[in-house]
Amino acid sequence: QQGKLNISEPAPVPEWSETSDPRHAIKLVDILQQSSGLDFSEQYNVPADANRMLFMESNAAAFTAAHKADRKPGTHFRYSSGNTNLISRALRDKLGDDAYYALPYTGLFYKTGMYNTVLEPDASGTFVGSSFCFATARDWARFGLLYLNNGNWNGEQVLNADWIRQSISPAPAAEMGEYGFQWWLNAGQKNHPENRTFPELPADMYWADGFEGQNVFVIPSKKLVVVRLGLTRTKFWGEHEFLKSVIRSIDKVAL
């Protein structure tokens, strides 16, 4: 939004600065869309990359950057929490520490009344944007509402509306139309939109999918934001039927 980083340029990752390094071709947009091509294991058992990054490494971004690429950037969708932390460090390097530490709070949280939200850094001082953002359900609802309103909050354009549009547009490498810029999407396949994650829910729905069932769902066609904080160790917790029931209730009230 401030023009500090160009997502169409090679990602500013020092470990990949040599042009002979195949990872030098990875752009910020590839990282945003989870198509960096890095061989990073997003499993949550002890030896896997995600757990090691969060609980055994002092620098999440450096740990991620050390991984080799096994796919051409922009061609293969593979979710990686490490990608998010590369973005966080790139922003810190560009802004400098004072502006970086202030930005989430003065630029977003305080403007939207998210006064009970905390971002935690790793030992190197970089926010662990993939995982360690803690907020109340009401604060998460405010975050979803900001996106529902295309970045506008009580007349102030907190986030660029075009950025919102790009964020919820399917990434080229996401064949099921399931991902944008750090948001999961229910868009479905380009020519077969009925083939989507939640086929009985609106195709314009998008959501933040946190660990073990922490969710923020945004459904523009219903002018609806739904937050669920819980603990569910399975992949799905019944969100399909739950959201259908919420929508039915809203539709009845609207009548």
The 3-state DSSP composition of the chain as helix, strand, coil percent (nearest 5) reads 35, 10, 50
Strands (E) in the chain, as ranges, are 118-119, 133-134, 152-153, 156-157, 184-185, 206-209, 215-219, 224-228
Measured distance between the N- and C-terminal CA atoms of the chain, rounded to whole angstroms: 39
Kindly tell me if the per-residue pLDDT of 15 is higher than 80: yes
User: For 119-163, how does the pLDDT look when each residue is reduced to its tens digit (9 = 90+)?
Assistant: 999 999 999 999 999 999 999 999 999 999 999 999 999 999 999
User: For 162-179, how does the pLDDT look when each residue is reduced to its tens digit (9 = 90+)?
Assistant: 999 999 999 999 999 999
User: For 45-97, how does the pLDDT look when each residue is reduced to its tens digit (9 = 90+)?
Assistant: 778 999 999 999 999 999 999 999 999 999 999 999 999 999 999 999 999 99
Kindly tell me if the per-residue pLDDT of 234 is higher than 80: no
State the pLDDT confidence band at 1, using cuts at 50, 70 and 90.
low
Tell me what the pLDDT averaged over the chain comes to: 95
- The per-residue pLDDT for 183 is 98
Which pairs with CB-CB distance under 8 Å and at least 24 residues apart come from 137-142?
137/227, 137/229, 139/109, 139/113, 139/114, 139/115, 140/208, 140/216, 140/227, 140/229, 141/216, 141/225, 141/227, 142/112, 142/113, 142/114
